[in-house]
Amino acid sequence: MPTSSRKSLAPVDPRRLRLNDPDGSSGTLLGMRCLNCEVCVFGEAIFCQACSSDNLESVDLSSCGILYSYTIVRVPPDGWPGPVPYVLGEVELPEGPHVLAEVIDIDHADLQVGLEVRLALEPVQAGESGPTLMVYKWAPSAVPPALPQEG
């Protein structure tokens, strides 16, 4: 069994996120797909919410999606470690599941339903001396091209 004296990063929820690098810079969202009706969900499931089948398989989900809806949160939940206000986005993945997470690196004026976003991982310290957890967030997948300025 490999051992390491170096403190390693952990995903915030190992049922929903797998880290692909030791430094936590990339990861994969995890889900379950129903082998009976093909419906896909984000995270762990014991049975399919669409058809009640328990014939499920684990799948890797896409790291890009489309902003389905969003809200600007001005009163955060207790213990919220980040800046306020922040943007909470519901993102639809190509496989179908909707994933709720903070949207970062975006001006509020640029928020719009249908925006393409990509998975972005950010380290968050759990408590005063807790472990560093990698939290999944969304960021715009591309900066809109600037229009050529003609003088």
Q: What residues line the site for Zn ion (CB under 5 A)? A: 34, 36-37, 39, 48, 50-51, 53
Q: Least Å distance between CB 52 and Zn ion?
A: 7
Q: Least Å distance between CB 34 and Zn ion?
A: 3
**Cα angle 119, 101, 136; round to 5:** 45
Nearer to Zn ion, 50 or 72 (CB): 50
Query: For the chain, what is the largest distance between any 2 Cα atoms, rounded to a whole number of angstroms?
Result: 65
Q: Least Å distance between CB 64 and Zn ion?
A: 24
The CA distance from 101 to 137, in Å, is 5
Nearer to Zn ion, 23 or 57 (CB): 57
Nearer to Zn ion, 33 or 137 (CB): 33
Please provide residue 14's backbone torsions phi and psi, each rounded to the nearest 5 degrees: -65, -15
Nearer to Zn ion, 36 or 141 (CB): 36
The CA distance from 42 to 57, in Å, is 12
- Name residue 1's amino acid: M
- Name residue 15's amino acid: R
Nearer to Zn ion, 30 or 134 (CB): 30
Q: Least Å distance between CB 7 and Zn ion?
A: 40
Q: Least Å distance between CB 100 and Zn ion?
A: 22
- Residue 54 CB burial class (10 angstroms; 0-12, 13-18, ≥19): exposed
- Name residue 131's amino acid: P
